[in-house]
Structure 1
Amino acid sequence: MPKEAVVHLRYGPYSALGLSVEHRTFRLEGLQAVLTKDGHHIILEKIDDWNVVELVVNEEKVFQCDIQELEFGGDGKLDPLCEEARIAVLEAF
């Protein structure tokens, strides 16, 4: 996949610290930082599936994980899931 791909970052609602279930982007910050550093354009899309993060490139889902497994905030450099997602986007067709 060439750099500067359009990546649809789809994310569902989740409950944080017993609070109400909502769409939150705090756990997506590191993932967005890693993908943006590679030159990709990120489009955030809310979905109804709870606890889900999906990366879609060229209408193909290339990565999926539980949103609560991503590190809260930060730059994503130390989060192994962010690296796994980065590689999945780079290897996308």
Structure 2
Amino acid sequence: MPKNALVVMRYGPYSAIGLSVEYRTFRLEGMQAVLAEDGHKVILEKTEDWNVVELVVNGEVVFQCNIKDLEFGGDGKLDPLCKEARRAVLNAY
């Protein structure tokens, strides 16, 4: 996939530490940073599916994970899921 791809990041609500179920983007910051560093434009899109993160490139889901498995905040460089997501976007058609 060439640089400057448009990546739609779909994310669902989740419950953190017993709090109410809400849409939160704190766990998405690292993944957004990693993709932006590669020159991709990331658009956030809410979905009704709980605990999910999906990356969509050219209408195809290229990566999916549980939002609770992502590291909270940070730059994403040490998060193995962010590295896997980066590879999935780079290998997308």
Structure 2 runs not aligned, ≥5 long: none
Aligned counterparts of 2:54 and 2:14: Cα–Cα separation in 1: 14
- Indicate whether 1:65 and 2:58 are aligned: no
Specify the alignment match of 1:10 in structure 2.
10
The letter for the 1-side match of 2:74 is G
Shift of 1:20: 0.4
Specify the alignment match of 2:90 in structure 1.
90
Shift of 1:38: 0.2
Shift of 1:26: 0.2
TM-score, L = length of structure 2: 1.00
Specify the alignment match of 1:31 in structure 2.
31
Shift of 1:43: 0.4
TM-score, L = length of structure 1: 1.00
- What is the RMSD of the two structures over their aligned residues, measured on CA atoms? 0.2
Q: How many residues align?
A: 93
Structure 1 runs not aligned, ≥5 long: none
Report sequence identity in percent.
76
Aligned counterparts of 2:22 and 2:37: Cα–Cα separation in 1: 27
**Helix, strand or coil: the match of 2:62?**
strand
Q: Which structure dedicates a bigger proportion of its chain to strand?
A: 1
The letter for the 2-side match of 1:44 is L
User: Which consecutive segments of 4 or more residues in structure 1 shift more than 6 A?
Assistant: none
